[in-house]
Amino acid sequence: MSTDTDVSTGAAGDGRGKVTLDDVHALCERYRNWGKWGPDDQIGTLNYIEPEMVVAASALVRQGKVISCALPYDGDGPQNGWGGRVNPIHLMLQDGGDAAIGAQDHMARLRYADDAVYMPLQSGTQWDALSHVFYEGKMYNGFGQEHVSSTGAGKCGIELTTEKVVGRGVLLDIPRHRGVPWLEPGQGIDSAELAACAEAQGVTVGRGDFVLVRTGHIAMCRARGSWGDYAAGDAPGLSLDSAHWICGNEIAGVATDTWGMEVRPNETDEIFQPVHIVLLVNAGLLIGEIFDLEKLADDCAADGVYEFMFAAGPLPFTKAVGSPLNPLAIK
C-alpha cells in the first residue's frame, strides 16, 4: 500500500494554489492503467474483483441487515439545472382517475396504474461510467472521445459494469474520525487521513474493495434545511493526494456523499475536476457520487463494524455514460 502524502510538489490536503497542472499530469502518468488489462478493456479497476472476493464478501453478512445508500429519486433532490441536470420528473400515464372515469373499461374487470420518469442519469445517487470524462481527447484506456456520440457511448458504456459491482464494501467516516458533524466546503481528504481513518475504525482496505467516503455534506444540507449550492458548488471531498492511497490499494471503486466526489474549489485553477482526470480517465476507477451515507454511518458507529457486503449494480442503460442505482450495504 502506498502511503505517500504528496503530489510532485510535496503539497497535500486542503487549499488551492498548491497544485499545478504538471502535478496533475504526473499523477495521471503514475497511476495510468491503460493497457493493464489489455487494449480492449472497458471496465478498468473492476478487473481487480475476483470471484473468490465476492464469496468472501458474502461471509460479512452476519445480521441480515440491509442498508440503502441511495437518495430518493424525486423532485426534492439536489439538482439545480447545472449542465442540464434536473431532479427526476415523475409522471403518471394511467391512474385511479382514469379507472374511475371509464378510460380503462375496454378491459374485463382489471384496472391499473402506470407511470414514467424523465431524469438525467446522473441526477441522483449514481455511478460515472468510464466514458463520462475526457481529457485531451481521450477517455479511459486511450479510447478517443469520438466513441461517445449522439447515439451514446460506443466504448466504456455503463452497461458493461452491471454484473461487476458486487464485493466487499468499507465505510470511511471522516467527520467522526475528525470529531465533527461534517466537513466544511473546501476541506480536502488526503491519503494520510484515509489511512488513519481506516486504522482508527479497525478495517483494512485492499484490492477489489469498494470504499465509501463520508464527508457529511448531505448531513450539513439537511441541518440547514436546503440543498443550497450542493450541486456544483463548494464542497468537501477527496484531494489529489488521495490518489496515492486509492490507487496504491488497488480498490475497485470509490463513492462519496458529495455532488462531484472531489474537493471544491478544486486545488488548481488550471483544470476542472482534476481528481476525475487522474482516477476516472487514467486509473479507470469506478466513481460514485451523491451516495446518502448517513444511515450507514450511524449503524457502523453503533456496532463498530465498518465492512459489509456491497451490491451496487448500475441499471443497464445501453451506451450510457452514467447510471442511477440503489447501492446496498449488507451486514
pLDDT tens digits, the chain, 331 residues: what are they?
Answer: 334 434 433 333 444 558 999 999 999 999 999 999 999 999 999 999 999 999 999 999 999 999 999 999 999 999 999 999 999 999 999 999 999 999 999 999 999 999 999 999 999 999 999 999 999 999 999 999 999 999 999 999 999 999 999 999 999 999 999 999 999 999 999 999 999 999 999 999 999 999 999 999 999 999 999 999 999 999 999 999 999 999 999 999 999 999 999 999 999 999 999 999 999 999 999 999 999 999 999 999 999 999 999 999 999 999 999 999 999 999 9
Q: How far apart are CA 244 and CA 1, in angstroms?
A: 9
Q: How far apart are CA 311 and CA 62, in angstroms?
A: 16
Percent above pLDDT 90 for the chain: 95
Q: Is 115 exposed, middle or buried (0-12, 13-18, 19+ CB in 10 A)?
A: exposed
Domains along the chain with CATH numbers: 21-81+121-330 (3.50.30.50), 89-118 (no CATH)
> For 221, how many CA atoms within 13 A lie in the half-sphere containing its CB?
25
Q: How far apart are CA 108 and CA 311, in angstroms?
A: 41
Residue 230, C-alpha cell as written in the block: 450542493
Q: Is 288 helix (H, G, I), strand (E, B) or coil?
A: strand
pLDDT in tens, 145-172: 999 999 999 999 999 999 999 999 999 9
Residue 267 · residue 19 · CB < 8 Å: yes
pTM exceeding the 0.85 threshold for the entire prediction? yes
Q: Which residue from 329, 253, 252, 262 is spatially nearest to 297, judged by alpha carbons?
A: 329
Residue 31, C-alpha cell as written in the block: 497511476
Cβ-Cβ contacts under 8 Å for 88 (sequence gap 6 or more): 73, 74, 75, 77, 117, 118, 119, 123, 124
Q: How far apart are CA 150 and CA 6, in angstroms?
A: 40
Instruction: Give the per-residue pLDDT at 2.
Output: 38
Instruction: Give the per-residue pLDDT at 18.
Output: 80
Q: How far apart are CA 311 and CA 166, in angstroms?
A: 4
